[in-house]
Amino acid sequence: MLKYDSNYGPFNGTVSHADGSIIVNGKVIKVFAEKNAGDIPWGSLGIDVVVECTGFYTSAEKANAHIEAGAKKVLISAPAGDMKTIVYHVNDETLTSADNIISVASCTTNCLAPVAKALNDAFGINVGTMTTVHAYTGTQALVDGPRGKDFRASRAAAENIIPHTTGAAQSDWSCYS
């Protein structure tokens, strides 16, 4: 998938693999397939920051497995209620060197919050409404087919605009507090 991409075409470089690593243009990149993040040797690899994008480690307690494995900092790419949430240009000035595990909110919040902050700072916002058009995700069906009682989710994601709810409007605003 690195050498031959459906959208970008063939990679103009070298891609190979050896001994649990991917080698791109001569740079060796270790690959791990561990069920438990604590089993990844971040410390011995000299890893400073882990960007946690699996969706499985969205609490401070779970994400701490990365710290215990030797990482110094963990950024969680999803909303996580039990830790500081940082959104650049919204509340990044509250980040301190003592913050070892933080949430960087959701993609929707990172799009909406800076604009909402600018509008609120300039004019004030009493009530707001948002609409988001989101790319389809790996959890959606690519062909029409039954998906329980949710008939909208039964539609082919790549062929339809499917109305759906988002938690961003309700839950991701901890970056303002």
The catalytic site residues sit at 107
Residue where the block lists tokens 């959104």: 87
CB-CB neighbours of 96 under 10 Å: 7
Tell me how far apart the alpha carbons of residues 12 and 7 are, in angstroms, rounded to a whole number: 14
CB-CB neighbours of 22 under 10 Å: 14
DSSP for 112-162 reads HHHHHHHHHHHH--SS----------TTS-SS----TT-SGGGS-GGG---
